[in-house]
């Protein structure tokens, strides 16, 4: 038998045994001086990092993005030069569930991509829906609390969810999508990805345009009904991971086509809606999709924890040619996401393999702290501050973004309950067929069953402003479900068949 590699401690000392503790006598007790045992147990205590507050359950893959169409008139970002191929790390996820939650639950899905460009990492941190529940980051912590467990019951609370949504009627657009057929994609390959927020592109001439990112699945959409999802969860809680891993492992690589919508900077004030409001979409008739390139995910990570669990996506990661917008939710996420990673992974999280820039020469003055496992003295240990005389790295003003036009007084502007919040949900509802509407109503009834009559009435009032038929359909489905539940009183003597 060929010699096997030597087992060592993390400091490189050879292990004497990986089976037995050092003890006083054959029966013990164990000696505290058995430092190899202490190291093994101590490391096990630290093998788990805090799970993400949101998007805890996720599935990832590696692949490439290739530019097939020329959009250089809009952007100088090197990742979008025609023919360019860029390595990509992806992570898809559910929003609300913990890390052990079932994959096939009704929930919004995260859709995040890290592009390792030659100018550094660009992160497209999005969802599988083009809109979101709230438009101001102030309400994001409150929204997420409604998706998590109740402090007393330690159970998920539909009451809290619909109570919050009824008080934030801007949510009705996203909730309509969530309760529709698209609420449970069968796996990551069968759903779209959206940047959701409005971003900006700028070109070599310093001209800015507003932009929306759309990754359209080439596999086609496919979704589970509630009943199909419940049956699947009874068989496996890992259906997404299984489908994704097995597809890539068998060579069936999923693909998406990237499209963008663009809006001239001066056209934003002319719209009948706020183009920086993440609860709104841009009409495709006014802002048609422009094809950019193809994303192919073609490699399973060799170590899930290293490349997917340690992955840290943040919309603050942009590169020259891509910029932000006045979108209030985006502005909040620019800080919150990076800060979440500093808490969850550590000070130097971006030096981990999943997050480290691959094609850019990373040089910064961030020093010391937890996880300072790299050297960045630029060849001279005296260059630990800036400016310095030791040829340390300096800023590059020629990649400056063009000025972002701002107009208005600094204030806390009250969010008004405007009819504009109901226009797009109404248009979406009217697109549904009669069969899709009936499934929408039934999905609501399943989700709202535990809610109090007061919360149900508040939500019906929101739906009424979208469309009277919408409110009536959801009310009817809820009443039918209540009637079915009450039709057969379940007692100790009730036959099992009747109770079912």
- DSSP letter at 371 equals T
Residues 43, 45, 55, 361: which is the catalytic one?
Answer: 55
Q: Which DSSP string do the residues of 430-494 spell out, in sequence order?
A: HHS-HHHHHHHHHHHHHHHTTS-HHHHHHHHHHHHHH-HHHHHHHHHHHHHHHHHHHHS---TTS
* Cα–Cα distance for residue pair 137/333, rounded to 1 Å: 7
Give which of 230, 235, 172 is closest to 458, Cα–Cα: 172
Residues 121, 127, 187, 317: which is the catalytic one?
Answer: 127
Count of other CB atoms within 10 angstroms of residue 484 = 10
Instruction: Give the Cα-Cα-Cα angle 90, 373, 317 (nearest 5 degrees).
Output: 35
Per the annotation, the verdict on 376 as an active-site residue is no
Largest CA distance in the chain: 88
CA–CA distance from 221 to each of 52, 226, 432 (Å)?
A: 28, 16, 15
* Cα–Cα distance for residue pair 431/173, rounded to 1 Å: 13
* Cα–Cα distance for residue pair 489/478, rounded to 1 Å: 18
Per the annotation, the verdict on 127 as an active-site residue is yes
**What is the Cβ-side half-sphere exposure of residue 246, based on CA atoms within 13 angstroms?**
7
Q: Which residues sit opposite 213 in a β-bridge?
A: 260
Measured distance between the N- and C-terminal CA atoms of the chain, rounded to whole angstroms: 61
* Cα–Cα distance for residue pair 103/237, rounded to 1 Å: 6
Helix (H) or strand (E) holding 423: helix 420-431
* Cα–Cα distance for residue pair 403/380, rounded to 1 Å: 36
Instruction: Give the Cα-Cα-Cα angle 406, 411, 417 (nearest 5 degrees).
Output: 100
Catalytic residues: 55, 127
């Amino acid at each position: 038998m060929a010699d096997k590699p030597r087992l060592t401690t993390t400091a490189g000392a050879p292990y004497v045994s990986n089976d037995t503790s050092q003890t006083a006598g054959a029966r013990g007790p164990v000696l505290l001086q058995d430092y190899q045992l202490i190291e093994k147990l101590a490391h096990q205590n630290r093998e788990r990092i805090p799970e993400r507050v949101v998007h805890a359950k996720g599935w990832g893959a590696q692949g490439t993005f290739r530019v097939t169409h020329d959009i250089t008139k809009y952007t100088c970002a090197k990742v979008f030069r025609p023919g360019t191929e860029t390595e990509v790390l992806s992570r898809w996820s559910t929003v609300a569930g913990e890390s052990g939650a079932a994959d096939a639950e009704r929930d919004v899905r995260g859709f995040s991509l890290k592009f390792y460009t030659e100018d550094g990492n660009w992160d497209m941190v999005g969802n599988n829906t083009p809109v979101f529940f709230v438009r101001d980051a102030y309400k994001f912590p409150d929204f997420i609390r409604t998706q998590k467990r109740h402090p007393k019951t330690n159970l998920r609370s539909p009451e809290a969810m619909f109570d919050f949504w009824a008080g934030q009627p801007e949510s009705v657009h996203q909730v309509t999508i969530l309760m529709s057929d698209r609420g449970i994609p069968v796996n990551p390959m069968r759903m779209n990805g959206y940047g959701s927020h409005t971003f900006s592109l700028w070109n070599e001439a310093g001209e800015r345009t507003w932009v929306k990112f759309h990754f359209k699945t080439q596999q086609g959409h496919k979704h589970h009904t509630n009943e199909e999802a419940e049956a699947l969860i009874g068989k496996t809680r890992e259906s997404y991971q299984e489908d994704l891993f097995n597809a890539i492992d068998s060579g069936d690589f999923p693909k998406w086509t990237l499209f963008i919508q663009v809006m001239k900077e001066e056209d934003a004030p002319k719209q009948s809606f706020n183009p920086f409001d993440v609860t709104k979409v841009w009409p495709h008739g006014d802002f048609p999709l422009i094809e950019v390139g193809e994303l192919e995910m073609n490699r399973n990570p060799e170590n899930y924890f290293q490349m997917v669990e340690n992955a840290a996506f943040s919309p603050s990661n942009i590169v020259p040619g891509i910029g932000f917008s006045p979108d209030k939710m985006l502005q909040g996420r620019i800080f919150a996401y990076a800060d979440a990673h500093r808490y969850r992974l550590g000070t130097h999280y971006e030096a981990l393999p999943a997050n480290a820039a691959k094609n850019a020469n990373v040089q910064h003055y961030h020093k010391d702290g937890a996880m300072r496992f790299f050297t960045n003295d630029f060849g001279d240990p005296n260059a630990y501050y800036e400016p310095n005389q030791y040829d340390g790295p300096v800023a590059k003003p020629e990649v400056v973004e063009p000025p972002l036009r701002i107009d208005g007084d600094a204030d806390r502007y009250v969010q008004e309950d405007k009819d504009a919040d109901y226009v797009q949900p109404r248009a979406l509802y009217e697109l549904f067929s009669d069969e899709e509407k009936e499934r929408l109503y039934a999905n609501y009834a399943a989700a709202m069953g535990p809610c109090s009559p007061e919360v149900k009435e508040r939500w019906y009032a929101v739906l009424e402003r979208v469309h009277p038929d919408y409110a009536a359909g959801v009310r009817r489905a809820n009443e039918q479900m209540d009637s079915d539940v009450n039709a057969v009183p379940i007692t100790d003597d009730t036959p099992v068949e009747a109770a079912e």
